[in-house]
Amino acid sequence: MNAYEYTIAARIKHPSIDPAVVTEALGLQPQHSWKAGAARRTPTGEPLEGRYRESYWTAQIVDAERISSTEMPLEVALAQSVALLQKNEKFLAKVADEGGSAELFIGIFGAGNLGIELPPTLLARFGRLGVAISLDIYP
């Protein structure tokens, strides 16, 4: 199979949580975050009409813009990611109990055909945490 690059980010959506609480709980610095009810803004900070309906928080899990599959296979990075999230199992359960959600966003960038196998044991670990896996594939 061909090599590829990928990125992994955690995303939390919640009806009202303060993003600072998520930052403290997960120990990761967000790339983007906002609190429900705050005035909407563009990514560059320009004001938009309306207010955010829910709180949102996202941060890179692996400290790199893009990772090459030749340096670290995606399966290895996902195992490291789930281990990090498992340390915060109670927090993630609280988010879900309050009507929020957690997901792991994976962006995959490849120039050709590629294959990735995610073992059931790894997927089960994410499932037990209530963390969805979201894949965006960019050929």
- Bridge partners of 114? none
pLDDT at 63 over 80: no
44: DSSP letter: T
- How many Cβ atoms from other residues are within 10 Å of residue 70's Cβ? 9
pLDDT over 90 percentage in the chain: 86
**pLDDT recorded at residue 1:** 65
Domain-by-domain residue ranges, the chain?
4-138
Query: Tens digit of pLDDT for each residue in 72-112?
Result: 999 999 999 999 999 999 999 999 999 999 999 999 999 88
pTM exceeds 0.75 for this model? yes
């670290």: which residue's tokens?
A: 72
